[in-house]
Amino acid sequence: MNWINRLGSNCGLGILVLLSMHQMAAAEEETIKAFSAWQGRGQIFDTGPERATFVGSFTGIIFVETEKGPLDAGHMTCPAIVDLNLKDGTQEAKARCTITAKDGARVYSDLTCAGVQMVGCDGEFTFTGGTDRFAGITGGGPVTVRSGLHEVAVGGGNIVQESAGGIIIWPKLQYRLAE
């Protein structure tokens, strides 16, 4: 049975509700589409003649797309490092994310991507584990991270403070719960 049909009208936790549904058979694989509007903060360090490194985090509410529109799936926090090539504008990023349900159960994941500075990057999102009802979760899928508004404040030395916002999209996020 499709997970959308099982949600009913009381489904404010989207992905996390999906993952915790008692009716779903253990080890059943599901694929969903999700997104998050995120806000990020951090610092950019001068790390070479034509290189810079962003160290910071981004956070946001994750929404799962359903037949009835997007549903709140929980809160995401992702500490991240982005290596920037200042000559050609390319970037590579790595992040470790935690998705937290309202009851405190968590899902952990890794995100890696590559792209162009001030635009965003495309890559992979992989579940690495979870707590409570999400213990043993596996899966993942493609991810697209896009940047929007950037605010930059120059500090002392070679440190620049940056705030940014954007969207992260999971077009085909697959997961499986342990038996």
Question: Domain with 50 in it: what CATH number?
Answer: 2.40.350
In a domain, 12, yes or no: no
How many domains, the chain?
A: 1
In a domain, 148, yes or no: yes
Strands (E), 49-132: 51-66, 69-85, 90-100, 106-116, 120-130
Query: Domain span at residue 146?
Result: 32-174
In a domain, 56, yes or no: yes
In a domain, 13, yes or no: no
Is residue 137 within 8 A of residue 117, CB to CB? The reply is no
- 2 is written with which tokens? 């499709």
pLDDT at 153: 53
- The pTM of the full predicted model, rounded to 2 decimals, is 0.79
In a domain, 17, yes or no: no
Q: Alpha-carbon distance 99 to 122, whole Å?
A: 20
Instruction: Please determine, for residue 122, whether its predicted confidence score (pLDDT) is greater than 80.
Output: yes
Per the model's pLDDT, the better-predicted residue between 159 and 107 turns out to be 107
Q: Is 169 helix (H, G, I), strand (E, B) or coil?
A: strand
Instruction: Please determine, for residue 159, whether its predicted confidence score (pLDDT) is greater than 80.
Output: no
* Residue 101: band (very low, low, confident or very high) from pLDDT cuts 50, 70, 90: confident
- 96 is written with which tokens? 């470790």
In a domain, 179, yes or no: no
